[in-house]
Amino acid sequence: MKTAATAVDVARLAKVSQSAVSRSFTPGASVSEATRERVMAAARKLGYRPNALARSLITRRSRIVALVMGYLQNQFYPLVIEQLSQQLQKQGYHVLMFISDGDATDNVLDEILQYQIDGIVMASAMLSPTVARQCADVGVPVVLFNRVPDLSAFGRHSTCSVTSDNLRGGQLAAELLLARGHRRIAFLAGLEKSSTNLERERGFGQALQAAGAGVYRRAVGHYSFEGAQEATRALFAGPGRAPDAVFVANDHMAIAAMDVIRQELGLRVPQDVSVVGFDDVPQAAWGAYRLTTVAQSVGAMVDATVTLLNEQMHDGAPPRNVVVPCRVVERASVRPAPVRSARAAAAGPSRTASATPARAGSRRAAAS
């Protein structure tokens, strides 16, 4: 019982050759129904399971995809893990996790490549040129998730990528805030050099300019919770009038910003200040808020990633960059108050509270 059964054991018991066992477990192989059944019976009796590692050694395909991520506080990324993992599982692939804190990516890549990975999804670490070259040398396809290849370092189409239409998203945010009649519109930036922030900010600025407006104030939150809190304080501490709207570069920061706006500054959202976020975080993250956001579609992004991986792994197609559209979404987690307390009533009628029904539903219970 101590050591697992091998194909040879099964062959002996079934009185066939070991090759026959292998064939019986290979979908399209040439085996008679009789032998296959004998083999399967023996296999069941011995609890035999083909050794995926040995198989990979000869087929040169491990059916393992590496997923490289940084820190996971941004609730967007767990969704990615979950969905990507499930999609790949359906295709017989599996996800090997690599957590890398930014600079260590190059070292991590060394480990990755030892596992004879079939593909790499880089979801939140930077891909250094060195790393890209290494992958290309070994012939391992890379898909950049939510970030764009560094064009300065290598050719435009040497690496695949999946991103949201961050430029258009930034425009949408601006148009929305302008339409709401705001004129003192601030921007809370993420990591200034990241492609997501650059594009969102560019689209945002363009659309404001096109309307004859401009960014009223700007602060940098580095995509972190604490950074966003500080940045928000800065935005509202200026000498002139406070902003009447803020576009925040992602939801993670938007939530932090709303905390400060409401709890520290005592302002109401959205009555006193309009806040628009970006990303797609699960309901648990925005539960307490009426959050207007430019939502990325995690599902569409994951689908695209899987498609690209398949293209690269099987068809040897040329690398592509996929841009997924995003859309403005109004989130509200609870239905409008049936009982109004004195304090809630004082805030005026709860307009549009039920404008868009909560759309998280339908998922199974989380174990705890």
- Which residues from 182-201 bind its own copies, rule CB under 8 A? 190-191, 194, 196-197
Q: Does 139 bind DNA (CB under 7 A)?
A: no
**Packed helices 251-259 and 225-237: angle between N→C axes, nearest 10 degrees:** 50
Question: Closest distance between its own copies and the C-beta of residue 293, in Å?
Answer: 12
Q: Interaction with DNA in 28-47: which residues (CB under 7 A)?
A: 30-32, 34-35
Q: Select the span of 13-21, 159-167, 232-240, 305-313 touching DNA (CB under 7 A).
A: 13-21
Q: Does 26 bind DNA (CB under 7 A)?
A: yes
Identified binder of its own copies from the candidate list 266, 316, 348, 349, rule CB under 8 A:
266
Enumerate the β-bridge partners of residue 328. Answer: 294
Q: Determine contact, residues 64/85, Cβ cutoff 8 Å.
A: no
Percent of the chain as helix, strand, coil, to the nearest 5 = 40, 15, 40
Identified binder of DNA from the candidate list 41, 44, 54, 352, rule CB under 7 A:
54
| Rounded distance between C-alpha atoms, residue 126 and residue 122, angstroms | 8
Helices then strands, counting H and E runs in the chain, come out as 14, 12
Q: Does 27 bind DNA (CB under 7 A)?
A: no
Residue with tokens 């803020």: 246
Identified binder of DNA from the candidate list 44, 59, 73, 129, rule CB under 7 A:
59
The site partner of 173 among its own copies, DNA, none (C-beta below 5 to 8 Å per kind) is none
| 3-state class (DSSP) for residue 268 | coil
Closer residue to its own copies in complex, CB, 57/210: 57
Identified binder of DNA from the candidate list 1, 2, 47, 58, rule CB under 7 A:
58
Q: Does 262 bind its own copies (CB under 8 A)?
A: yes
- Cα-Cα-Cα-Cα dihedral sign, residues 301, 251, 242, 269: positive
222: Cα within 13 Å, side-chain hemisphere: 6
Residue with tokens 């890209």: 132
Closer residue to its own copies in complex, CB, 179/365: 365
Residues in the site for DNA, rule: CB under 7 A? Answer: 3-4, 6-8, 16-23, 25-26, 30-32, 34-35, 48-51, 54-55, 57-60
